[in-house]
Amino acid sequence: MSEYLLKLNMDLELKGYSPLTCKYYVGNVKRFSDFYDKSPELLGDEQIREYLHYCITKRKLSEGTVNGIYSALKFFYETTLERDWRVKKVFRTKKAKKIPVVLAKQEVKEIFDSVDNLKHKAILMTVYAAGLRVSEVVKLRIDDIDSKNMQLLIRKGKGKKDRYAMLSKTNLEILRVYWKRYQPQHFLFEGKEPNSHIAVRTVQRIFENAKNKSGITKKASVHTLRHSFATHLLEAGTDICYIQKLLGHTRISSTTIYLHIRRMDLLNIESPLDTL
């Protein structure tokens, strides 16, 4: 790794970025440098514009991926090289706002019913019952379960923020049955190695297998359970500000996406056509 990339990695770590983000940012700057076969400090605005355009038109990368490359280059030039970043000349790609896939309550039940393994079922039910990210459910510890106050402590969620998530009665019941059978010692859902938690990819495969077994054809992932949690709360009349807190969203704008995907038939709104 070049001197500049080492400095970039140090700057990211000093800023408190996660190891995964550090690797992602350094990798993107390195690929940019390799594209021109020049050290990145020798490249400027025109090369950045040309490279981002190449990523869009030739590599056919998604808007989100291109904006990730943009963020890495912006951090490198602004923070590591201490250069001005000319926003009017190098700008972000407009990202399409896609409505997330949501499962109906019956579909969620069918997925749970298709899982025979108690541990696997407990994991998926916890994701849905508390609206967790998969990275959060795998890191749950035994002492994060507060059955007295019916809540789960989520340590260092997205943005390194702690928060409390809800613990439902049904979720607590299956977790108690699971604990008696598996006797986890540290992490609630342990991995194969001692003192390790189950891998994120393993949970993703558990969901994929359950979805396929249940016959559901929607393009859903384990994260869809989190979307479904928020949507079902909204449809039940829960204040969107409470949902924001439960999900751990910093901005309410992140939560309002669920206003667009709740079932219209539950709102009791008539079309003007029906009133003619």
Q: Residue 76's pLDDT is what?
A: 95
* 258 belongs to the catalytic site: yes
pTM here?
0.75
* 133 belongs to the catalytic site: yes
Q: Residue 92's pLDDT is what?
A: 79
The single residue of 133, 139, 197, 232 carrying the catalytic annotation is 133
The single residue of 30, 155, 158, 262 carrying the catalytic annotation is 158
Q: Where are the domains of the chain?
A: 3-80, 105-266
Q: Residue 118's pLDDT is what?
A: 97
What CATH code would you report for 105-266? 1.10.443.10
* 249 belongs to the catalytic site: yes
Looking at domain 3-80, its CATH architecture is Orthogonal Bundle (1.10)
Block mean pLDDT (10 aa), the chain, length 276: 87 91 95 93 90 93 92 94 81 76 94 97 96 95 95 84 92 96 94 91 97 95 94 88 89 80 60 58
Q: Residue 33's pLDDT is what?
A: 94
How crowded is residue 14: how many other Cβ atoms within 10 Å of its Cβ? 9
The single residue of 7, 213, 249, 262 carrying the catalytic annotation is 249
The single residue of 74, 141, 155, 223 carrying the catalytic annotation is 223
* 70 belongs to the catalytic site: no
Q: Residue 270's pLDDT is what?
A: 60
Q: Residue 269's pLDDT is what?
A: 58
The single residue of 51, 70, 77, 258 carrying the catalytic annotation is 258
